[in-house]
């Protein structure tokens, strides 16, 4: 048998990556439909500022399930078969999309139902996201994990490019068509997950009561200054600098490009991220990983400011592509640190904590954007948020010197021996 030299040579990993692509396609198609529907309805009776706040509420209803479920998601993932957790979460997402399709076909759609199903989908994804993150290392050998992470990112960003386009074209046919397409894509993702035959390297099941296990995971992250710095950097940078929540306002009232332009803007961010992920799948970031992550966050903020100030649709697309590229570098380094510096039996809990932080940055970032947009308008909110991200990158250099100093990815065993004290950088090549 020829030795495996690339994760795509493994059939189970190909099914895993396909499931990720299809799941992201479905969710991104749904996101653009929900955002455009909510903002357009609000603008019928409200001004730009008030409608921006209505957009921000989507983030609020999506973050609440993550917050409430975060105490148990990691423990569930570590104690039960991760394949089953992922499959059940996909079934729940399919059910939510199906409810929206049925409501649209029957003419019973309401704003409250849209918010409720957005919350239901978020609750399912509270298990799905860390479950996928913890399942991947069981399928792919450690030496191929950095390439697998980059390929996962390519699949995710490809879905981020095509999902909005699919959602936009489907919505042009009818809202019901958009929800049915979403249901179908998530169904295909579930099929790919069901075809994964085995966990190639075996899962180390955590044992014991749930709360002590959760506490152990929280203590581990809190005591590991390297992981805490990497995870929290994303939280605060995207919390202040995220512009995606207000894209419908820019598409309709700033750049005047309509729903079609909105699809292009959402895709532009994913295009930049995809190009960067493709590069890193063959040339992974292996040296100066901490400084690279910090500079990427600063670049993210600078590109966000450029987008907020632009009045050219073409320039706006370039800025959004730069936002996606910088974010991809940050995500790549963060995920590599989490997966390579965390023992397997703690990956579910650490992944759940990371997912909570990521959700907080995305969903609470939408709320923050909506609130600022209600006061400053969408342009002022985005520009101020970009400046905030740049300041966060500078502050984290001083608050977490372990992150700024780390040169290469530390070994999980070495981190385990030093937790809960501060983790020093591995200086070896």
> What would the mean pLDDT of 149-154 be, rounded to a whole number?
78
Task: Give me the CATH code for the 7-197+208-418 domain, please.
Answer: 1.20.1250.20
| pLDDT level of residue 310 (50, 70, 90 thresholds) | very high
Name the token pair of 72.
Answer: 């148990």
36 contacts 248 by C-beta, under 8 angstroms: yes
Give the contacts of 294 (CB within 8 A, at least 6 positions apart). Answer: 233, 393, 396, 397, 403, 404
Which of the listed ranges 140-144, 146-150, 407-411 does the model predict with the highest average pLDDT? 146-150
345-385: pLDDT as tens digits: 677 677 667 766 776 677 778 888 888 888 889 999 999 99
- So what's the pLDDT on residue 348? 67
C-alpha distance across the termini of the chain, in Å: 31
Give just the sign of the alpha carbon dihedral 372, 378, 380, 381.
Answer: positive
pLDDT of residue 336: 79
**Per-residue model confidence (pLDDT) at position 307:** 95
Residues with Cβ within 8 Å of 247's Cβ and at least 6 positions away in sequence, in order, are 35, 262, 265, 266
Model confidence band, residue 286 (pLDDT cutoffs 50, 70, 90): confident
For the chain, what is the mean pLDDT?
81
**What is the predicted pLDDT for the residue at 318?**
96
pLDDT exceeds 50 at position 118: yes
What's residue 223's pLDDT?
A: 72
Place 410 in a pLDDT band, splitting at 50, 70 and 90. Answer: low
314 band by pLDDT with thresholds 50, 70 and 90: very high
* pLDDT at 411 > cutoff 80: no
| Interval 158-167 mean pLDDT | 86
Task: Give the percent of the chain with pLDDT over 90.
Answer: 21
pLDDT for 323 equals: 93
Task: Compute, in degrees rounded to 10, the torsion defined by CA atoms 144, 149, 155, 158.
Answer: -130
106 CB-near residues (< 8 Å, 6+ apart): none
Residue 285 pLDDT more than 80? no
Lowest-confidence segment of 91-100, 232-241, 295-304 by average pLDDT: 232-241
Percent of the chain with pLDDT over 70: 86
Structure tokens at 34: 């929900």
What are the boundaries of each domain within the chain? 7-197+208-418
Write phi, then psi, for 408 (nearest 5 degrees).
-130, 170
| Average pLDDT score over residue span 24-41 | 84
Better-predicted residue by pLDDT, 5 or 45: 45
* 362 or 310: which leads in pLDDT: 310
**pLDDT confidence bin for 274, thresholds 50/70/90:** confident
Distance CA 320, CA 166 (A): 19
pLDDT, one tens digit per residue, over 179-202 is 999 999 999 999 999 988 765 444
């Amino acid at each position: 048998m020829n030795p495996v030299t690339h994760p795509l040579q493994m059939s189970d990993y190909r099914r895993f990556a396909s499931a990720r692509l299809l799941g992201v396609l479905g969710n991104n198609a749904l996101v653009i439909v929900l955002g455009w529907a909510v903002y357009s309805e609000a603008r019928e009776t409200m001004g730009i500022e008030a409608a921006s706040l209505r957009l921000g509420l989507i983030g609020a209803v999506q973050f609440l399930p993550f917050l409430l479920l975060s105490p148990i998601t990691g423990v569930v993932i570590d104690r039960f078969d991760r394949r089953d957790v992922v499959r059940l979460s996909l079934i729940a997402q399919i059910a939510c999309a199906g409810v929206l399709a049925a409501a649209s076909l029957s003419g019973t759609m309401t704003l409250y139902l849209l918010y409720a199903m957005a919350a239901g989908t978020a609750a399912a994804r509270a298990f799905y996201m860390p479950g996928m993150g913890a399942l991947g290392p069981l399928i792919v050998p450690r030496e191929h994990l950095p390439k697998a992470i980059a390929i996962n990112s390519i699949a995710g960003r490809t879905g981020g490019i095509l999902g909005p386009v699919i959602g936009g074209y489907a919505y042009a046919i009818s809202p019901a068509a958009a929800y049915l397409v979403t249901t179908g894509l998530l169904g295909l993702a579930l099929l790919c997950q069901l075809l994964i035959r085995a966990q190639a390297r075996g899962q180390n099941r955590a044992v014991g009561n749930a709360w002590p296990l959760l506490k152990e995971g929280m203590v581990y992250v809190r005591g590991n200054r390297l992981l805490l710095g990497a995870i929290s950097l994303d939280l605060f940078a995207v919390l202040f600098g995220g512009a995606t929540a207000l894209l419908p306002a820019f598409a309709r009232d700033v750049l005047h490009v309509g729903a079609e332009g909105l699809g292009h803007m959402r895709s532009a961010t994913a295009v930049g991220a995809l190009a960067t992920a493709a590069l890193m799948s063959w040339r992974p970031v292996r040296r100066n990983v901490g400084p690279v992550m910090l500079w990427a966050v600063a670049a993210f903020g600078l590109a966000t400011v450029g987008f907020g100030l632009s009045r050219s649709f073409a320039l706006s697309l370039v800025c959004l592509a730069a936002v996606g590229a910088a974010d991809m570098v940050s995500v790549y380094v963060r995920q590599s640190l989490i997966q390579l510096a965390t023992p397997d039996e703690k990956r579910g809990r650490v992944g759940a904590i990371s997912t909570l932080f990521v959700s907080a940055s995305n969903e609470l970032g939408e709320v923050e954007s909506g609130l600022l947009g209600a006061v400053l308008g969408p342009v002022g909110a985005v520009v101020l948020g970009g400046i905030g991200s740049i300041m966060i990158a500078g502050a984290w250099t001083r608050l977490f010197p372990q992150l700024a100093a780390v040169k290469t990815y530390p070994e999980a065993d070495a981190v385990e021996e030093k937790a809960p004290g501060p983790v020093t950088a591995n200086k070896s090549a």
